[in-house]
Chain A
Amino acid sequence: MTDGFLLKVYVAATILLMVGMALILVRLIAGPTLYDRALAVNSFGTKIVLFLCMFSLIIGRADGVDIAILYALMNFIATVAILKFFRYRALSEPMAPLPASAKFDALRERRRNERSR
């Protein structure tokens, strides 16, 4: 009884989501800086997750939601990886530089001396 109404709402919401995805895509292509593009990729991924959930409810199968969970996790990891790569030009460096305080330098010096003994 309410299925037809809900299907209309789902389809309308999906189409509007796709309009939003197109707007984000414009920013992704035209973004002047790298960070605009990273932001657009992240936002686009969120919209893809929503699209997958909506689509799997439209077709009435639960498979799309599994992919959406995976996509939500991958999206976050990909964003952080992109940012880290473009900051350090490598993925294996530490995220923040080591603290350069005098206390820490003394500690490191002492450890180096202990190791050399």
Chain B
Amino acid sequence: MAADKAHGTQSVGVDIPWDAVLDWGLALASSGLILSGVFFVLAGALGVLRMPDFFTRMHAAGMTDTLGAEFILFGLILQTGFSQMTLKLLLVAFFLFLTSPTATHAIANAALKSGLKPQLGTYKAPDLSQIEGSSNEADSDKAGGH
């Protein structure tokens, strides 16, 4: 970094603050990772809330929780530098990476063994116009939903 700075001052004549550039790069990278992880977690939560069937809900929760948790934890790891906290966060990421799909698989296996059948065939979305009132009525009539 010092060599780069010296080189930069010699050739270009502009003193680039490399520390600040590095800090902001790290901050932007970690905030991007954290926010994308939060996006995945929120999408999974919405899927768990809105999906029609247990197995589809399980799919939404299982996939997105693993990826979102890894994104968030690696985003935090970028900010802790080389410290004890980094090791602990790596341990959390490792445990979640192992246990989250295993737990999802265990739940799916238990549900299937207990005789819960997945819904097959085409899915018809619930009619929102009955819930929200007359705001969506024209759209649902066009789609032939009601």
Binding site for B on A (CB under 8 A): 1-2, 5-6, 9-10, 12-13, 16-17, 19-21, 23-24, 26-27, 33, 35-36, 38-40, 42-43, 46-47, 49-50, 53-54, 57, 62, 65-66, 68-69, 72-73, 75-76, 79-80, 83, 86-87
Contacts and interface: CB of A to CB of B under 8 A. Distances in A.
A50 B71 CA distance: 10
Interface string B48-92: 110000100110010001001100110010011000110011011
Nearest to B99: A76
Contact of B92 (A5, A9, A68, A86): A68
A61 to B, nearest CB: 9
Nearest to A43: B61
Interface residues of B, number: 50
B6 interface: no
Contacts of A38: 107, 110
Interface in B107-146: 107, 110-111, 113-114, 116
A43 B40 CA distance: 13
A42 to B, nearest CB: 5
A80 B96 CA distance: 15
Nearest to B109: A83
Contacts of B91: 69
Contacts of B16: none
A6 B79 CA distance: 9
Contacts of B35: 9, 12-13
